[in-house]
Amino acid sequence: MTKASDVRPYWKNFINGEWVDGSEGARIPVTDPATGLKLCEVARGTAADIDRAVAAARACFNSDEWQNMLPHERGALMFRLADELEKAADEVALVECFDNGKTLANGRGEIPLTQRYLRYYGGMADKLEGRQIPLGSGLLDYTILAPYGVSAQIVPWNGPLPVGARSIACALVTGNTVVLKSPEDSPLSLYLLAEACTRAGVPKGAVNIVCGYGAEAGAALAAHKDIDHVVFTGSVETGRSVLRAAAERIIPCVMELGGKSGGIVFPDADIDQTVESAANGIFKHAGQICSAGSRLIVHRSVYDQVVEKLIARAESLNVAPGIEGGDLGPLISERQLERVEALCRVGVEEGATLRTGGSRTKGLDGYFMAPTVFTDVRPDMIIAQDEFFGPVVVVIPFEETEEAIEIANGTDYGLAAGLYTRDLSLAHKVANRLVAGQVYVNQWWAGGVETPFGGMKRSGFGREKGQEALLGYVQTKNVGIKL
Ligand code: NAD
């Protein structure tokens, strides 16, 4: 498969191990963002489909097969799933290119990354232990890390496979079952995970994947009366409505929301390395990454130098359909492109200086946005506060370290932050003060599958990745026995 027309024309939902049409027979068209043309159709999941999927997940959760599966067997299942996913590697890379707008290189990276998650959590399945609490010789007391039951997971379009798979892995190794609502804009790679689940022998109903519109299938899942747990990754606005639904039923949530993450450049930083890292941090996947480094806070003494190099880097990037091997591909939709362009116009009206980019790329049919750099940005401007979710970086000057920390912390978000310096003491000091779930020193996204990831403030709560993530999928149960 090397072209969009090779993508399978129709994909069904995966419920109770079966491939099924939407309950009303309706379909959702999926668009190739690099051309604006229809790519394929997927079954449109409705509230009735969510009902069936939750019932299947519940039945599996209650089954002897699931309840009696030993922790090391659940771990082995994740290893088999990772192995089976290998067979879908080429197709995953291509569908990520065509429905998501990823570059082919990034699409190819999705499988090794997803396998890392599956094997990492598979390896931990038999290492989750409770504790014994000493209450004297007449009592035996111990704790169990118990699953919640049916875990409802709602996934955004920008990284559906690794984001979905890491939540599924955490849920399964801790003994939960899953209903996942895949993103309507880029659902395809998760169907390939579902196919791998069948090949790997994941019990029927343990993983159900339903695509549907957010307001329809997503809202029905979040409000379903028989789910026990919610993992939501997406925007703050949608996160609020999911939390309201969860509050009605008092069920726990993991919330992975947006970001407006800032990197501070100190005068002693290696400028070339800093610019390379900062450019990667904002232009990768056209800035459609929740932890993108969308603000650069630069010491006045190196400001001009950093800005000139950053602009040169932005202008050197090849914006092209992912399949053609460009550096960055399109935004996900016309709506997202319009939103990013509109925010750029706001920046100009606010008095920031647009140094490069600022609008869609001419001469391409899809939803391509030019890599954009704004300078003379004040921390209180809308473009320094609102998430673009596009390839737009705002550069803000500072004089004093305290001022830089204040600027970095001065948004509603707290997902990631970074700093560039050769001074290790300064790095420690500033890292301690930054209000963010992850802090990167001298390399944006320093970290990996093993490092806990998640938000502070409006960026959410709970953690994905790392050992900490598993704690979001279990509840402590205490057993006291009078001997
Ligand atoms: P979104 O909130 O619009 O959609 C996310 C998911 O929620 C989709 O599956 C959508 O169908 C569903 N949804 C929409 N309305 C719903 C409703 N009323 N009830 C239930 N579900 C509903 O977000 P998006 O535009 O797909 O993704 C971009 C956002 O996600 C950005 O803000 C980005 O920062 C954030 N994000 C965060 C992380 C993280 O780990 N923190 C990762 C990726 C993306």
Domains and CATH numbers, the chain: 4-257+461-482 (3.40.605.10), 262-449 (3.40.309.10)
Of all atoms in ligand 1, which is nearest to the CA of residue 332? 25
- Residue nearest atom 12 of ligand 1, based on CA coordinates: 214
Please tell me if the CB atom of residue 219 comes closer than 6 angstroms to any atom of ligand 1: yes
Please tell me if the CB atom of residue 181 comes closer than 6 angstroms to any atom of ligand 1: yes
- Residue nearest atom 9 of ligand 1, based on CA coordinates: 183
State the DSSP H helix or E strand holding residue 11, giving kind and residue range, or none if neither.
strand 10-11
- Residue nearest atom 19 of ligand 1, based on CA coordinates: 219
Tell me the sheet residues that pair with 13. 20
Contacts of 304 (CB under 8 A, 6+ apart): none
Please tell me if the CB atom of residue 287 comes closer than 6 angstroms to any atom of ligand 1: no
Please tell me if the CB atom of residue 183 comes closer than 6 angstroms to any atom of ligand 1: yes
Please tell me if the CB atom of residue 157 comes closer than 6 angstroms to any atom of ligand 1: yes
Ligand 1: distance of its center to the CA of 428 in Å? 33
Ligand 1: distance of its center to the CA of 415 in Å? 15
Q: b or e along 111-149 (b: 16 or more beta carbons within 10 Å of the residue's beta carbon)?
A: bebbbbbbbbbbebbeebeeeeeeeeeeeeeeeebebbb
Four-residue CA torsion sign, 121, 125, 130, 131? negative
Of all atoms in ligand 1, which is nearest to the CA of residue 239? 2
Ligand 1: distance of its center to the CA of 122 in Å? 27
Mean pLDDT by groups of 10 residues along the chain of 483 residues: 87 98 97 97 98 98 98 98 97 95 93 98 98 98 98 97 98 98 98 98 98 98 98 98 98 98 98 98 97 98 98 97 92 98 98 98 95 98 98 98 98 98 98 98 98 98 98 98 98
Of all atoms in ligand 1, which is nearest to the CA of residue 183? 9
Please tell me if the CB atom of residue 110 comes closer than 6 angstroms to any atom of ligand 1: no
Residue-by-residue DSSP string for 346-415: HHHHHT-EEEE--SBPTT-SS--B--EEEES--TTSHHHHS---SSEEEEEEESSHHHHHHHHH-SSEES
Ligand 1: distance of its center to the CA of 459 in Å? 12
Contacts of 105 (CB under 8 A, 6+ apart): 325
256 in catalytic set: yes
Of all atoms in ligand 1, which is nearest to the CA of residue 213? 11
Beta strands in 138-216 (DSSP E): 139-147, 150-154, 177-182, 207-211
Ligand 1: distance of its center to the CA of 417 in Å? 21
253 in catalytic set: no
Question: For residue 1, what pLDDT is reported?
Answer: 58
Contacts of 424 (CB under 8 A, 6+ apart): none
Angle at CA of residue 343, ends 341 and 346, nearest 5°: 115
Could you tell me whether strands 456-457 and 460-461 are parallel, antiparallel, or unpaired per DSSP bridges?
unpaired
Closest residue by Cα to residue 389 from 260, 248, 208, 243 = 260
Of all atoms in ligand 1, which is nearest to the CA of residue 459? 41
Ligand 1: distance of its center to the CA of 184 in Å? 11
Please tell me if the CB atom of residue 269 comes closer than 6 angstroms to any atom of ligand 1: no
* φ and ψ at residue 10, rounded to 5 degrees: -145, 135
Ligand 1: distance of its center to the CA of 287 in Å? 15
For residue 244, CA distances in Å to 250, 285, 405, 483 come to 10, 31, 33, 44
Distance CA 468, CA 89 (A): 28
- Catalytic one among 96, 110, 256, 464? 256
Distance of CA 31 to the CA centre of its chain: 21
- Residue nearest atom 10 of ligand 1, based on CA coordinates: 214
Distance CA 95, CA 193 (A): 12
The amino acid sitting at 62 is N
